[in-house]
Amino acid sequence: MTPKKTPDPTKAESSAPNTAQSIATDRDFHALRRAYAQQGHHLHSVTPKDGATTYWAERWGLVRYLPSLHDAALFLAQIGGRL
**Chain segment 60-82, per-residue pLDDT in tens:** 989 999 998 899 999 999 998 88
Give the pLDDT confidence score for residue 35 in this predicted structure. 93
Q: Where are the domains of the chain?
A: 21-78
The predicted pLDDT at position 59 comes to 92
Residue 53 to residue 7: CA distance in whole angstroms: 25
pLDDT (0 to 100) of residue 2 = 63
pLDDT at 30: 92
Q: What is the longest distance spanned by two Cα atoms in the chain?
A: 59
pLDDT at site 77: 92
Q: Which residues of the chain, if any, have pLDDT below 50?
A: 12, 14-16, 18-21
Q: What is the per-residue pLDDT for 14? A: 46
Q: Are 59 and 42 in contact (CB under 8 A)?
A: yes
